[in-house]
Amino acid sequence: MSRINGFVGRRHVLKLAGMVGFGMTAIAANGSLVWGTQQAVNSQILADAHPVNPNPVSPDLALRRLLNGNKRFIQQKRQYPDESLERLRLVSKTQHPFASVLGCADSRVPAEIVFDQGLGNLFVVRVAGNVANDLVIGSLEYSTAILGSQLILILGHRRCGAVTAAIKNEPLPGKIGFVVEGIKPAVERVRLTTGNIQEDAVLANIQYQVEELPKKSRILAKLVSVGKLKIVGACYDIDTGKVTVIT
C-alpha cells in the first residue's frame, strides 16, 4: 500500500473511491449500501494514518509560525522564505505543508503574503466567506489525512462582503446565494445583539465554520480526537494587516 507523509497514498484513495462509485451504482437497490461503503472508506483512511513526515510540525508550532510571519508582514520585515529556484525544485517532488488555511477569496487577503510564507509551506483553500462547504472539506481532508498538515486555520476578515450579503438577506443572482446560505446560520446568532452586527457577524461566521468542520467530516473529527489536528479561527484586519486568533 502506497503512503504519502505516512498517510494512506493517493493510489489507495483512488481504490477506495472506486468502492464508493460501486456503491453508488447500487443505490436504487439498497440505499444503505452507499452509506456502509462510505463508512468503510473513512475507517480505512483513518486506520492508515500514521505520520512519518520527515519534518513534523505540531499544531501549536504551526500557529506560531503563521503569527510570526504575520508580525513580519505588518512590520514590513518580510523574509520572503522558500521562494528560491532550489525550493521550487525541492517541492516539485513532494510537499509537506505545515499548515492548512481556509480563507476568504477576497483579493485583499492572500494567505502566503500576509503570513510571509513561501512555496510548499501552506495548503490554501479560498472561497467567498470562508465557508466550509463539501468541496472545501474534501480539500482539507486531503491536506490533513493525506499530506499530514496538523493545523487548519480558518481565516475570516473584517468588512467581508459575503457576510454583509448574508446580513441583508436579499435575493442574489446566479450561484452567489449558495455561498451566502452557508453564512446565514452564523448571522442569526448575532442578529439581535446590540453591537456592530457586521463586525459581530464576521467573528460569528469564523467561529461557526470552525465548529462545522468536524461536524461535517468524520475524518477531521477523528484526527482532532486523537491529537493529530487542531482547527483554529482567526480574523484579518484589512486596514492594518494584523491577524488575531479568536478561537
What are the pLDDT digits (tens) for 76-95? 999 999 999 999 999 999 99
Rounded CA-CA distance 73/36 in Å is: 48
Judged against a pLDDT cut of 50, whether residue 234 lies above it is answered with yes
Of 64, 118, 57, give the one whose Cα is nearest residue 91: 118
Q: How confident is the model at residue 240 (pLDDT cuts 50, 70, 90)?
A: very high
Cβ count within 10 A of residue 141 = 19
Residue 134 burial (CB count, 10 A): 9
**What per-residue confidence (pLDDT) applies to 20?**
41
| Domains of the chain with CATH codes | 1-52 (no CATH), 55-245 (3.40.1050.10)
Average pLDDT over residues 41-56: 57
pLDDT, tens digit, 9 for 90 and up, residues 52-85:
467 779 999 999 999 999 999 999 999 999 999 9
pLDDT tens profile 176-206:
999 999 999 999 999 988 889 999 999 999 9
pLDDT greater than 90 at residue 218:
yes
**Rg value, the chain, Cα:** 19
Decide if 122 contacts 83 (C-beta within 8 A): no
- At residue 45, the pLDDT reads 54
Q: What pLDDT is attached to residue 247?
A: 85
Residue with cell 445583539: 193
What DSSP designation does 198 have?
A: H
Which DSSP state fits 128?
G
pLDDT of residue 37 exceeding 90, the answer is no
Burial 5-17 (b: 16+ CB within 10 A, else e): bebbeeebbeebe
Task: State residue 22's pLDDT score.
Answer: 41
Query: Model confidence over 135-174: pLDDT tens digits?
Result: 999 999 999 999 999 999 999 999 999 999 999 999 999 9
Distance between CA atoms of 114 and 29, rounded to whole angstroms? 51
What is the per-residue pLDDT for 114?
98
Name which of 29-33, 115-119, 231-235 the model is least confident about. 29-33
pLDDT for the residue 38: 55
Task: Report, in this order, helix, strand and coil percent for the chain, each rounded to 5.
Answer: 50, 15, 35
> Is the separation of the CB atoms in 128 and 179 below 8 Å?
yes
Report how far residue 199's alpha carbon sits from residue 107's, in angstroms, rounded to the nearest whole number.
19
> What's the pLDDT score for residue 24?
42
Cell matching residue 144: 490533513
Residue 36 is predicted with a pLDDT of: 58
DSSP state of 133: -
pLDDT score recorded for residue 199: 96
CA neighbours closer than 13 Å in the CB half-sphere of residue 55: 10
For residue 211, the model assigns a pLDDT of 98
Q: What is the pLDDT of residues 1-36, one digit of tens each?
A: 444 444 455 555 554 444 344 434 444 445 455 545
- State the alpha helices, DSSP H only, in the chain: 10-25, 31-47, 59-74, 85-91, 111-114, 134-141, 161-168, 176-181, 184-190, 197-216, 218-225
Average the pLDDT over 217-245 and give the result: 97
- For the segment 99-110, the average pLDDT, to the nearest whole number, is 98
